[in-house]
Amino acid sequence: MSAKILDGVALGKTIRAEVAVAVGRLSGNGGKPGLAAVLVGEDPASAVYVRSKGKACEEAGMHSVTVRLPADASEAELLDTVDRLNADPRIHGILVQLPLPKHINSEKVLRRIDPTKDVDGFHPINVGKLVIGDKTAFRPATPYGVQQMLIRSGIETKGAHAVVVGRSNIVGRPMANLLIQDGPGGNATVTVCHSRTRDLPAVTRGADILVAAIGKPEFITADMIRPGAVVIDVGINRVDDASVPKGYRLVGDVAYAPVAEVASAITPVPGGVGPMTIAMLLQNTLQAMEQMER
């Protein structure tokens, strides 16, 4: 068996094009969605990601702002920046790029973002809305992107056993909440695994759909997959490789080549979930503007 590759680049482009059409309609009425990204420090991966978000916004016809603060910026300075963006009527979505420097309390900063502009979906109000199935909730972009990938790839979740490996607030927990909801891309029976799960391979082999979000390079191996399962790899890890010019390569949480011989469908790394994350962030910003204008 050779798995079908779930192409996040192509799907992401489709969603971004849909967002651009909706933005065009809004712009015709004199307004457009605005997204502000706040970057503290010079983390290379974060900087690349923020640039990608800004470029995607501009291509969709959205207003994009990037606020850069030095790594030694105080917590008070960052909170003042968030307050200013909360009050700016041109900004409908705010994201503070994580991780933040250790001297800043990330939870305090995320809770300072106006919940109606919290397009990352990390504020407790949006987390609570997601849990109860409130349609005005902002769904965290990565699990939202996974759900859209499943829907748009024709993968049935209703009645399926979905196993999520990882319980982070950014991916694992909201992923489980999305999969269990009533509606498209939901109605699954969900198991969440983590570092304390006993006999993890036995649990993962029971999955019809496996979502790997554990942050360990190539942790999920072929013997952990039921033949014909769908495997979604959220992980992106840098591993040393002297055979390539950069001296490293990017791999997921799944051992791609051997697992692809067992699964029915699989996401590559890169080119899988990553492009969907940016697409859904734009979708959330569009949603934020539409909800503010109701």
Does the annotation mark 120 as catalytic?
A: yes
Residues 77 and 155 occupy one common structural domain: no
Considering its fold, how many domains does the chain have in total? 2
Of 117, 138, 141, 120, the closest CA to residue 129 belongs to 138
pLDDT at 7 over 80: yes
pLDDT at 86 over 70: yes
Residues 189 and 265 occupy one common structural domain: yes
| Residue 281 counted as domain residue | no
| Residue 219 counted as domain residue | yes
Tell me what pLDDT residue 278 has: 95
Give the residue with greater pLDDT, 252 vs 28: 252
Bridge partners (DSSP) listed for residue 231: 210, 266
Of 13, 73, 72, 69, the closest CA to residue 36 belongs to 69
Tell me what pLDDT residue 49 has: 84
**Mean pLDDT, residues 248-260 taken together:** 95
Residue of 32, 117, 118, 120 marked active site: 120
| Residue 17 counted as domain residue | no
Tell me what pLDDT residue 79 has: 98
Tell me what pLDDT residue 275 has: 95
Residues 243 and 166 occupy one common structural domain: yes
Residues 157 and 86 occupy one common structural domain: no
| Residue 203 counted as domain residue | yes
Q: What is the CATH number of the domain that holds 104?
A: 3.40.50.10860
Tell me what pLDDT residue 2 has: 86
Residue of 32, 97, 118, 253 marked active site: 97
Residues 189 and 228 occupy one common structural domain: yes
Tell me what pLDDT residue 140 has: 97
Does the annotation mark 118 as catalytic?
A: no
Residue that has been written with the tokens 């029915």 in this structure: 264
CA distance 11 to 61: 19
**Mean pLDDT, residues 204-233 taken together:** 97
Whether the CB-CB separation of 123 and 215 falls below 8 Å is answered with: no
Residues 169 and 106 occupy one common structural domain: no
Q: Which stretches does DSSP call E strand in the chain?
A: 4-5, 34-40, 63-69, 93-96, 161-165, 189-193, 209-212, 230-233, 237-240, 248-251, 265-266
Cis peptide leading into residue 70 (ω within 30°) = no
Domain, as residue range, for 63:
30-114
Residues 247 and 199 occupy one common structural domain: yes
| Residue 267 counted as domain residue | yes
Give me the percent of the chain exceeding a pLDDT of 70.
100
Q: What is the CATH number of the domain that holds 269?
A: 3.40.50.720
Q: What is the pTM of this model?
A: 0.95
Residues 147 and 107 occupy one common structural domain: no
**Mean pLDDT, residues 202-210 taken together:** 98
**Mean pLDDT, residues 68-86 taken together:** 97
Residues 237 and 150 occupy one common structural domain: yes
CA distance 183 to 181: 6
Q: Which amino acid is at 197?
A: T
| Residue 294 counted as domain residue | no
**Mean pLDDT, residues 29-33 taken together:** 84
Residues 98 and 157 occupy one common structural domain: no
Banded model confidence at residue 213, pLDDT cuts 50, 70, 90: very high
Summarize pLDDT for 47-57 with one digit per residue, the tens: 888 888 889 99
Summarize pLDDT for 12-29 with one digit per residue, the tens: 999 999 999 999 998 777
pLDDT at 285 over 90: yes
Task: Give the 3-state secondary structure percentages of the chain, helix then strand then coil, rounded to 5.
Answer: 40, 15, 40
Does the annotation mark 53 as catalytic?
A: yes
Tell me what pLDDT residue 1 has: 59
CA distance 106 to 111: 9
**Mean pLDDT, residues 217-237 taken together:** 97
Summarize pLDDT for 112-152 with one digit per residue, the tens: 999 999 999 999 999 999 999 999 999 999 999 999 999 99
